[in-house]
Amino acid sequence: DGGITQSPKYLFRKEGQNVTLSCEQNLNHDAMYWYRQDPGQGLRLIYYSQIVNDFQKGDIAEGYSVSREKKESFPLTVTSAQKNPTAFYLCASSPRDREAFFGQGTRLTVV
């Protein structure tokens, strides 16, 4: 079953903790993306990657980090430097010059 999988679906973080959100795709897509969605808001780009071992900052990269060691995987770490991390996080992948396919999302809450 092909697709893009995010885990966990819900995540709770204590203040000052780093947490990592998982994103895996078996679609053989080159590009992968992380977006943040706040209630009633649009999708803001955090990081994106065109190829393995390369990634670029999006519009709101501060307080986040990523890696792209494998084509299939693009994990996002929300660090303690991110002051307001509570949001819905969406991972996506796309073949070159094509639409993005989204995962189910991870809802992160700071407790």
Partner 1 sequence: GENVEQHPSTLSVQEGDSAVIKCTYSDSASNYFPWYKQELGKRPQLIIDIRSNVGEKKDQRIAVTLNKTAKHFSLHITETQPEDSAVYFCAAMYSSASKIIFGSGTRLSIRP
Chain residues in the site for partner 1 (CB under 8 A): 30-31, 33, 35, 40-45, 48, 50, 56, 58-59, 90, 92, 94, 96-105
Rounded least distance, CB 106 to partner 1, Å: 11
For partner 1, the closer CB: 36 or 85: 36
For partner 1, the closer CB: 18 or 95: 95
Rounded least distance, CB 43 to partner 1, Å: 4
Number of Cβ within 10 Å of residue 22's Cβ equals: 15
Which residues contact residue 89 at a Cβ distance below 8 angstroms, ignoring those fewer than 6 apart? Answer: 6, 21, 34, 35, 36, 37, 46, 76, 105, 106, 107, 108
Rounded least distance, CB 107 to partner 1, Å: 9
For partner 1, the closer CB: 55 or 82: 55
Rounded least distance, CB 28 to partner 1, Å: 15
- DSSP labels, 3-72: -EEEE-SEEEE-TT--EEEEEEE-S--SEEEEEEE-TT--EEEEEEESSTT--EE-TT-TTEEE--SBTT
For partner 1, the closer CB: 16 or 42: 42
